[in-house]
Every structure is written in C-alpha cells, then in structure tokens.
Amino acid sequence: MAPIGILGGTFDPVHFGHLRLAEELVQQLALSEVRFIPAANPWHRKKPAATAMQRMEMIRLAIAGNARFVLDEREIRKNSPGYTVETLQELRQERGSRQPVCLLLGADAFLGLPSWHRWRELFELAHVVVAHRPGFSLLQEQMDDLLREELEQRISTNPPSLQSSPGGRIMTSPITPLAISATAIRAGIKVGRSPRYLLPQSVLDYIRAQELYI
C-alpha cells in the first residue's frame, strides 16, 4: 500500500527547504500524499512570529497546484499544544492499522526527538524518514544514546520496506541540501534583506501584504 507522509513544523514561514524535502520524499518513497501539519503552539520553542492563521495561509499558497500536498489543520484547530504522538494516533485511527505512515523529519528535528513527548511510541505508529539538512550531522557518535539504539535497531536502506509495514523503521535520505531556515528568513526580513528565491513568490507577496517579520 502506498505510504502517506506527515510533515509537521512551525512553518514560520514555509520555504523551499520544506517543499523540496516533501517533493523528493514523494518521489523516493512513492508517497500518495504529504500532509503538512502546522503546530498550534509549540511547547518546546518560543511563540511563532506569525499567527496560526497566517502560517496556515502561507502553506495553502505554497502547496497550491501540487495534488499530492495537503494542508492538515487539525493541530491548529485544536488550539492547544498538540503532540505529534497524538496526531499520529488520530491518523492511525482514521486510516486503519495497515496504512504505512512516514513521519518526515529534517536531521535537526530527528536529533531533537528524545525531547518529544512519548517519543519512543512514535516508532510504533509510523516509520521515521530523516532528510539530511546542512549543518546537522547524522553521525551516530554524536547522537543521544537512546536515539542511536533506536536507529541501529530500525534502520532500513530500502524504500520498498516502508511500503510493506505500517511503521517501525527508520530511513535516512540525502535530499538536495538546501541551507534555508525560517529563522534566517525572518532575521533577514527584519534587517531589510529580501528572501526572494528562498520561498515561493506567492508566500513572499503574502508576507509583504501582511507586513510580517518586519
């Protein structure tokens, strides 16, 4: 069965780093869709600069025209700090126990996994696919011990293995390295530098119209 991909994040704002990650993993893993799930109020980071509605609108603009990309509003609609493990439980109930689900993470997010709520249960609910990201090393010596153990036990190098089981594997993927970050985009706008070509023009037009990040 074709796996679905889940890409959670703050998306403050969404940029080409997110979109290329999703696009390349659709191709590599034959995902039927990627669900972009913006976080309501991330408990582990400071409050986003744009409102939840603005972050959602930017995703809507960014994914327009891509039939496999879906905006999933569930965490924002809940309006409480949502946990990924709970979102995956919900999806599991909706899609059934056989549906392969891939939680898509950049290398920085993967390295931070041990600080997530009930993080080891994530592997019971989904595969974890880790995209390379410039500036973050996936060398095992530099990883938290428990995370390294999970990686060693679950590592797979073979995309079809993610289609034949609902979850439980970890795969790493060397996507096109793009050193783009939302933090750097916001900091650039603040000092008057244009983020043109780092994110879709439609998103940039929206940022300007809403006078965001200035």
Size of the residue set binding ligand ATP (CB under 6 A):
17
CA of residue 173 relative to chain centroid, distance: 14
195 token code pair: 């983020």
Supply 202's token pair. 């439609």
Query: Does residue 207 touch ligand ATP according to CB under 6 A?
Result: no
Contact 178/138 with Cβ under 8 angstroms? Answer: no
Pull the structure tokens for residue 153. Answer: 């036990």
Q: How far apart are CA 159 and CA 149, in angstroms?
A: 21
Alpha helices, DSSP H only, in the chain? 16-29, 52-63, 74-78, 84-95, 107-111, 122-125, 145-154, 182-190, 201-209
11 contacts ligand ATP (rule: CB under 6 A)? yes
* Length reported for the chain: 214
- Contact call for residues 38 and 76 (beta carbons, < 8 A): yes
Collapsed DSSP state (helix, strand, coil) of residue 172: strand
Site string for ligand ATP, 150-189 (x = CB under 6 A): ----------------------------x-xxxx------
- Pick the binder of ligand ATP from 105, 147, 170, 207 (CB under 6 A): 105
| Least distance between ligand ATP and beta carbon 126 (Å) | 14
190 binds ligand ATP (CB under 6 A): no
Return the range that interacts with ligand ATP (CB under 6 A); candidates 104-112, 113-121, 139-147, 149-157. 104-112
Nearer to ligand ATP, 27 or 164 (CB): 27
Q: Per CB under 6 A, does 18 bind ligand ATP?
A: yes
Tokens 């060693």 appear where? 152
Span of 60-68, 93-101, 102-110, 149-157 interacting with ligand ATP by CB under 6 A: 102-110
By CB under 6 A, name the one of 3, 5, 17, 200 that touches ligand ATP.
17
Give yes or no for residue 127 binding ligand ATP (CB under 6 A). Answer: no
Tokens of 59: 């995703």
Assess 35 for contact with ligand ATP (CB under 6 A): no
* In the complex, minimum distance from the CB of residue 209 to ligand ATP, in angstroms, rounded to a whole number: 21
Q: Beta partners for 14?
A: none
**Contacts to ligand ATP by CB under 6 A:** 9-11, 17-18, 21, 105-106, 108-109, 131, 133, 178, 180-183
